[in-house]
Amino acid sequence: CAFRSEEMRMTNRRDFKPDPNYIPPLDLLKDYGDGSNKVDREELEANKKRIVDTLANYNIAIDKIKATIGPTVTLYEIIPAAGVRISKIKGLQDDIALCLSAIGIRIIAPIPGKGTVGIEVPNQKPQIVSMRSVLGSERFQKCGYELPFGIGKTISNESYVADLAKMPHILMAGATGQGKSVGINAIISSLLYSKH
């Protein structure tokens, strides 16, 4: 009986003809919703006020502050008043993190192409960035890259897609639990969903 089942399995394997243009359906990936950003208005306003108050404690005046909500972090863009040195704001990273009770903020001073200083603050309730939403996005589907891979979403909630063929080498490094394996799995999934 065992021999007969093995013989049938081998026969089925010889008859199998793979589809040369097969790409798996997106339905195989888990759906985590539309991926829309859900940050409380109260959280945004409270963080803005804390940032302004902390900078005011160090005699740093700002003209304007605005927030760009991402899936896991919110970018607060501030326009410093005339005469304020950017290095002074950058030196307050730990003080701002303490004030916001946030684990690991990042200060981008200045934001490339803009005359603003960015403060990235982790959201209290981060949203899941699903592989299904990245691979199903128009940016991934119509990118035209030789070896495309989607690695996540940008601060403005757009899918981030790059071309593996244009990278001379890849080094995945980081501390435990920072997402190295998730990154490699994202690259492998992207290739499976873009190349037959």
What's the chain's length in residues? 196
Q: What is the pLDDT along the chain (196 residues), one digit of tens a residue?
A: 444 455 555 555 666 677 778 888 898 998 887 656 667 788 888 888 888 888 888 888 888 889 888 888 888 998 888 888 888 888 888 888 888 887 778 888 888 888 788 888 888 888 888 899 999 999 999 998 999 999 988 887 889 999 999 987 878 888 998 889 998 999 999 999 998 8
DSSP letter string, 78-104: EEEPTT--HHHHHTTHHHHHHHHT-S-
**What digits encode the pLDDT tens for the residues 43-86?**
888 888 888 888 888 888 888 889 888 888 888 998 888 888 88
How does DSSP classify residue 165? G
Phi, psi values for residue 180, rounded to 5°: -65, -50
